[in-house]
Chains A and B, each alone.
Chain A
């Protein structure tokens, strides 16, 4: 039986308490498989980002279960969560979130540094990752010297630096033109299909839907029926 990348059961996230309590997520069940591109759709405030944050172990759930490769992360101590993130998850953000004071190479190296890889090994691996995303000639460039597409590719290289099995991308094409957005989606698609990583993408960009293996809609904190099954 195939091991799930992420198994979510009866996941609830409640903000506030008493009469002012608001459910951001309510009884969410979802399986995410290795090698698939899963897209999360939904209107603003539907709970997409909350779900992504909980899967990414940067937000704690109120109740329920989230297993990452079998490891239960709900209730895991806050001291252990960074390691889970570092070992399993790569983030790609809408705003790129590159460190402006670090060069493209150093932005990638910082993840390697966190994993304990330093010196020539770190330098070589960062250069290799940037080469793979087509930025071999820009390894020493500062973020401010890069275009939006190039920044997102550095962010992808950084997300891959820890060799994660799960990539969580929040609106990765929102800040990009259509051509660059398509390039980025192709890259993410490749990460899933050729490298076997689970790629979860939150997007409003309909151009990205073509790259989805599965589309899940979330509304009012609850999962609706899948809108699309693997067609890409």
Chain B
């Protein structure tokens, strides 16, 4: 069988290249914008999402992670007394000030956790180990922020809120949505740095016993412990994301860019495919004249659009994934999960097929006598 669709595409290589360029640009634009959005979304909440806790307990009315308010740590014992709770640990997350060797100050997000429990601590540790954080005044920083925080080596002594701190480990890829790098330390150190009373905490992280229904446990803890908000990790994650993405307006900008990326990409794809189809309109007229049915012509045009979409998508997504890989070495990450790849592929196919269907309409309503015009 003669594949007119394939031949039409590959015969005029320049035109095909133009078509592909349009699709590659669109796929790249949409993927990077959505990846940036997803990256921001993930970054805002990964301290929560990666905490390995099942429940987070905050002071009543806390809107986001960085705005925690102290409450009595005795509530930890009330939580531990709730059936179904395996562990409950205190946690501090608060903005602090890191003094650079130059004397300048840099804002950081200090995370204080119990190194014995593992919950709420750092991940992707590249140097040092959690045990090192049990010592007084020790911290972990992320490799991404070594330059920003002027950290050159393990054992370097720095200053946080006027107190001494010693770098004992590095992590990789723990970013901040704000300009303040996350720095991990023990709960006890964090209490000292921030001058939080010994019997106070900002958060309680809860691990449920295996097989316990988390929502049910949340409800029971909530009933048992007064003057706090109890949320599942998923609920707290969403609350945190909502605050940064919607509440501050920062996310709206990123989201708008992502939506615009999708729209511009869609328009470029549609225009590209439409032009590519209309360029062959006289040939479709000839096809009709020699006896091709409408469905035959539909198939040729749609197949043409799908081939263009698939090749353009593979190249565009390939470039985007390289960009995503490179971005993981920077403080602004483009995250492209597999579901985004599949969704964008389906979307690209739909865009291309829709645009070709619009041009089919033109083909089906073309003046039949076009075939008699001198080419």
- Bound together, the chains give a CA A83 to CA B291 distance in angstroms of 6
B1-14, CB under 8 A of A: which get 1 and which 0? 11010011011100
- Bound together, the chains give a CA A85 to CA B293 distance in angstroms of 10
A120 CB to closest chain B CB (Å) equals 13
A102 touches B372 (CB 8 A): no
**A: number of interface residues (CB 8 Å):** 39
Question: What residues of B have a CB within 8 angstroms of the CB of A94 in the complex?
Answer: 372, 374
A101 touches B290 (CB 8 A): no
Within 8 A of B (CB), among A68-126: 78-79, 82-83, 85-87, 89-91, 93-97, 99-102, 106, 109-111, 113-115, 118
- Nearest residue in A to B297 (C-beta to C-beta)? A82
Question: What residues of A have a CB within 8 angstroms of the CB of B8 in the complex?
Answer: 99, 101
Q: A97 with B282: in contact, given A49-B372, A102-B2, A170-B372 (CB under 8 Å)?
A: yes
- A50-58, A132-140, A210-218: which lies at the interface: A50-58
- Nearest residue in A to B292 (C-beta to C-beta)? A114
A49 touches B369 (CB 8 A): yes
A82 touches B2 (CB 8 A): no
B10 touches A79 (CB 8 A): no
Question: What residues of B have a CB within 8 angstroms of the CB of A85 in the complex?
Answer: 289-291
B4 touches A110 (CB 8 A): yes
A139 CB to closest chain B CB (Å) equals 14
- Bound together, the chains give a CA A69 to CA B368 distance in angstroms of 23
Question: What residues of B have a CB within 8 angstroms of the CB of A100 in the complex?
Answer: 11-12, 283
B368 touches A113 (CB 8 A): no
Within 8 A of B (CB), among A125-154: none
- Bound together, the chains give a CA A211 to CA B283 distance in angstroms of 30
B residues with a Cβ closer than 8 A to A are: 1-2, 4, 7-8, 10-12, 282-283, 286-294, 296, 368-369, 371-375
Additional pairs, 11, CB under 8 Å, beyond known A94-B374, A114-B291, A114-B292: A50-B369, A53-B368, A79-B293, A86-B291, A89-B291, A95-B374, A99-B8, A101-B8, A111-B291, A158-B290, A174-B374
